[in-house]
Structure 1
Amino acid sequence: MISWRKHYRQTLIAIGLLLSTSASIYGQDGDPKNGEKLFKANCTACHALDKQVVGPPLKGVVERVKTEGGVDKDWLHKWIKNNKELRASGDKYANEIFEKFNKTEMQVFPNLTDKDIDDILAYTTNPPAPEEPKKDATVQAGTTDGAQAAPQSSTTTNVVIISLLAIAALLVWILLKLRQLVKLGQSEDLAGLNETRVKSFSEIYAKYHYVGKGLIAILALLATYGIWNWIMWIGVYKGYKPEQPIYFSHKIHAGEQKINCQLCHSSAKYGKVSEIPSMNVCMNCHRTISEYNAQHYMEPGKDKAFYDGEIQKIYAATGWDPAKQQYTGKTQPVEWTRIHNMPDFVYFNHAQHVVAGEQAIINSFNKKNPDNKIDVVCKACHGKIDTMNVVQMANDFTMGWCIECHRTTEVDMNNGYNKEYFKNLHDKLKKQYPKDGGKITVDAIGGLECGKCHY
């Protein structure tokens, strides 16, 4: 009986130890997959797994703090939730870390639960293997198009060859006919006709001078029109897309990452000119993004090494040392190639269009282009920038193009300022154009006055 009770007690102890061990494994280790999401949402601004960014690398941080400072997960919980409070309590290891990293303040995360922190630490201890990248739909489409283009290209080649053979046959036939005519001209039957033929250009002109003068006048008109048309298109470079010193894809930044245009072009909304962003604007993100990890989107002919190399050009331009996480002071100016360049005699104010005319321009554009609508006013002039890998001039930017926009863009008269300021004009136009309900377009409020656009 005693032996049975002893055996029973040992069994209970073993089961208890097993349960407590299981609880420790499954309750404290956390979920690495959920930890990865939380890590990317909260930590990647300052940390990476395998290298120093603003803060130290976090791979194996649980074991590292145990070895370096003799602390456990509970200490990490306190540090992550409120490191300031932990340092203020006089914790030696917390203050050592603070001093080691140049007294850089770490953000506090009181919103993270104990389970969230366990999940993050599980991710840093045992990060899940990366998923196989999916091929971009655009690339797949490009591959399919390429496969279909092969037979089309072959067909085109055959058509060209047949056309060339037909032209060759026609030339041979013309040569044979010319030979027959030469022989006929040498016969006695045409001797009389040869005597009556006009033998000089002056004789031909004297005989048909009215026709000649008419042809010369037509040619002069055509030449004048051609020269005028050529002059009018000087400086119009629609489709111009130069290669820049640092490759920058608007499709990746504005399209894939949904970065707002005005984050980089901040003066476009409140200034006359939309400036080229400083390289320090790029560093706001690329201080922590040192390599290209968007394997789901790669342009044809470009690989990860290419994109990583372009990021290194940013570091070289700003004098940033990614290994030491500090600026060296040695900078290199970037000579960007300008794409849009208004003549000196033209006045154009970005703020006037982006702020005052924003909704009116978007509404007008979408009304004229129902199948190609826009959601940002910038796209009305610059095209769908968020789909461009290499920025190009999307419109003519001629005087006629601007005037046409002023004639068709309706002013928002429900705006309190416009409603009061143009009250008399609005009443006048209602009477003048009763069918249109007195609609006011930009040209009606001075949009065609020379002085508005020219100094």
Structure 2
Amino acid sequence: MISWRKHYKKTLIAIGLLLSTSASFYGQDGDPKNGEKLFKANCTACHALDKQVIGPPLKGVVERVKTEGGVDKDWLHKWIKDNKALRASGDKYANEIFEKYNKTEMLQFPNLTEKDIDDILAFTTNPPAPEEKKTEAKTATDATAAAPADKTTTNIVIISLLAIAGLLVWILLKLRQLVKLGQSEELAGLNETRVRSFKEMYEKFHYVGKAVIAILAILAAYGVWNWLMWIGVYKGYKPEQPIYFSHKIHAGEQKIDCQLCHSSAKYGKVSEIPSMNVCMNCHRTISEYNADHYMEPGKDKAFYDGEIQKIYAATGWDPAKQQYTGKTQPVEWTRIHNMPDFVYFNHSQHVVAGEQAIINSFNKKNPNNKIDVVCKACHGKIDTMNVVQMANDFTMGWCIECHRTTEVDMNNGYNKEYFKNLHDKLKKQYPQDGGKITVAAIGGLECGKCHY
């Protein structure tokens, strides 16, 4: 009996060790929830759980490396921390993976602790189920909130109909009075004094007629002049583009700097339309829209995913094989801001030299609508626009007004040296401005600055 109990005890210990070893091997000794956070912070640039991105899908990676390479979790720890060193040591499976994925070198993560890696592996082995959205509760709340609004709308409609009915009754009564008046002798007397022709009317009221014609002529001339002055002014113009691109999502929600995509605005005359390769810098790994916290009304995940697929079609990218096919399609963007050929405008001059001066001037004139990026002074708050539109007039008068009110930054080292002697002269020349030097004061109103 004692011997049986002794063997039974050993068996239980062995089973326990086996289970704990198995759980450890399959990544279950980590914290999947913490692993999810670490995965998103460190791995999502190159990996997804269920599909190949730059690297292979990582769901069930612990089991996969055991089956394919006969290696355990300790091997994964070494691979994640420093795969380059593991390959250099001659590890056969490590070099096979390197060759299999086009010799794309994985980043090293020496900063991750053993526990961090265990948590990540636990997440890839058994990812937590996504929390169900409480749509039913939200719908019930919305319905309850909408009920009083519907009742108020019904009351307004009833009151409006009663008012219209009352107005119709009043009109009918007045018409009846007019009919009675037409049958009276009083109307016959009025008919005798009535003007019977246009000639008689003109002779009787010719001074008034001439005055009215003169006023109409002036108004017509002003209307034609005003129409001519606004030719080519398209404030509010927002055309539909071949690929839907929301600046609110990219510049607003994701805080992407304007000059990351429009790099030539800082160094060149023209702010170019970014090439599709610029889009692929991010969308090579972002193949679907997962930002549930923001979706434009009327659009869903399928819509945004479809627009990303248009980027792939334009660049000839095969997301399944993670390689370019060489078959590209041009994207015909619709230009929004377009200066006439006789106007010279240099973006770099405003974005670099005039950046702080323009921001300061704009914020001074618009204390309740301040900007933090110089681009917004002309293009509006682009980070709030789903569809980009022309935010200002872009007329000559609009530009001149800006030159008259924008002060030159005399604390700038270059300006301080360049306008050293001019500064005192301009203070005397423009005493009404309190010695402030505006763009107009240094030649900003000269025709040849913008037209030549």
TM over 0.5: yes
Normalised by the length of structure 1, the TM-score is: 0.85
Shift of residue 9, structure 1, vs aligned partner: 10
Give the aligned length: 450
RMSD: 4.0
Which residue number in structure 2 is paired with residue 140 of structure 1?
A: none
Which residue number in structure 2 is paired with residue 171 of structure 1?
A: 168
Per-residue CA deviations over 1:91-147 (Å, capped at 9, x if unaligned) read 21111111211222222223333332222222212222234569999xxxxx99999
Q: Once structures 1 and 2 are overlaid, which stretch shifts more, 390-399 or 154-163? A: 154-163
Per-residue CA deviations over 1:372-424 (Å, capped at 9, x if unaligned) read 11111111111111111111221222222222211111111111221222233
Measure, in 1, the Cα distance between the counterparts of 2:171 and 2:414.
Answer: 76
Judging changes above 3 Å, is the alpha-carbon distance between structure 1 residues 171 and 10 closer, same or farther for their aligned structure 2 residues? Answer: closer
Q: Once structures 1 and 2 are overlaid, which stretch shifts more, 320-329 or 158-167? A: 158-167
Q: Once structures 1 and 2 are overlaid, which stretch shifts more, 21-30 or 399-408? A: 21-30
Q: Once structures 1 and 2 are overlaid, which stretch shifts more, 126-135 or 30-39? A: 126-135
Measure, in 1, the Cα distance between the counterparts of 2:152 and 2:189.
Answer: 55
Q: Once structures 1 and 2 are overlaid, which stretch shifts more, 220-229 or 38-47? A: 38-47
Measure, in 1, the Cα distance between the counterparts of 2:231 and 2:167.
Answer: 41
Judging changes above 3 Å, is the alpha-carbon distance between structure 1 residues 268 and 307 closer, same or farther for their aligned structure 2 residues? Answer: same
Measure, in 2, the Cα distance between the counterparts of 1:226 and 1:156.
Answer: 41
Shift of residue 261, structure 1, vs aligned partner: 1.0
The residue correspondences of 1:197-276 to structure 2 (distance < 5 A) are 198-276=195-273
Match of residue 148, structure 1, among 145, 149, 161: 145
Shift of residue 65, structure 1, vs aligned partner: 1.0
Measure, in 1, the Cα distance between the counterparts of 2:133 and 2:186.
Answer: 86
Judging changes above 3 Å, is the alpha-carbon distance between structure 1 residues 305 and 204 closer, same or farther for their aligned structure 2 residues? Answer: same
Normalised by the length of structure 2, the TM-score is: 0.85
Judging changes above 3 Å, is the alpha-carbon distance between structure 1 residues 195 and 441 closer, same or farther for their aligned structure 2 residues? Answer: same
Q: Once structures 1 and 2 are overlaid, which stretch shifts more, 153-162 or 242-251? A: 153-162
Judging changes above 3 Å, is the alpha-carbon distance between structure 1 residues 391 and 30 closer, same or farther for their aligned structure 2 residues? Answer: same
Judging changes above 3 Å, is the alpha-carbon distance between structure 1 residues 193 and 118 closer, same or farther for their aligned structure 2 residues? Answer: closer
Question: Residue 265 of structure 1 contacts residue 277 of structure 1 at CA under 8 Å; is this kept in 2?
Answer: yes
Measure, in 2, the Cα distance between the counterparts of 1:438 and 1:243.
Answer: 47
Judging changes above 3 Å, is the alpha-carbon distance between structure 1 residues 136 and 356 closer, same or farther for their aligned structure 2 residues? Answer: farther
Measure, in 1, the Cα distance between the counterparts of 2:135 and 2:236.
Answer: 29
Measure, in 2, the Cα distance between the counterparts of 1:102 and 1:446.
Answer: 59
Which runs of 5 or more structure 2 residues have no equivalent in the other structure?
none
Shift of residue 168, structure 1, vs aligned partner: 8.0
Judging changes above 3 Å, is the alpha-carbon distance between structure 1 residues 10 and 245 closer, same or farther for their aligned structure 2 residues? Answer: closer
Measure, in 2, the Cα distance between the counterparts of 1:7 and 1:196.
Answer: 133
Judging changes above 3 Å, is the alpha-carbon distance between structure 1 residues 169 and 50 closer, same or farther for their aligned structure 2 residues? Answer: closer
Judging changes above 3 Å, is the alpha-carbon distance between structure 1 residues 188 and 245 closer, same or farther for their aligned structure 2 residues? Answer: same
Shift of residue 439, structure 1, vs aligned partner: 0.6
Judging changes above 3 Å, is the alpha-carbon distance between structure 1 residues 40 and 166 closer, same or farther for their aligned structure 2 residues? Answer: closer
Measure, in 1, the Cα distance between the counterparts of 2:193 and 2:9.
Answer: 140
Judging changes above 3 Å, is the alpha-carbon distance between structure 1 residues 295 and 332 closer, same or farther for their aligned structure 2 residues? Answer: same
Measure, in 2, the Cα distance between the counterparts of 1:336 and 1:19.
Answer: 60
Measure, in 2, the Cα distance between the counterparts of 1:25 and 1:146.
Answer: 51
Secondary structure, counterpart of 1:242 in structure 2: coil
Measure, in 1, the Cα distance between the counterparts of 2:160 and 2:144.
Answer: 26
Question: Residue 133 of structure 1 contacts residue 295 of structure 1 at CA under 8 Å; is this kept in 2?
Answer: no
Judging changes above 3 Å, is the alpha-carbon distance between structure 1 residues 15 and 446 closer, same or farther for their aligned structure 2 residues? Answer: same
Report percent identity of matched pairs: 91
Question: Residue 403 of structure 2 contacts residue 439 of structure 2 at CA under 8 Å; is this kept in 1?
Answer: yes
Judging changes above 3 Å, is the alpha-carbon distance between structure 1 residues 5 and 191 closer, same or farther for their aligned structure 2 residues? Answer: closer
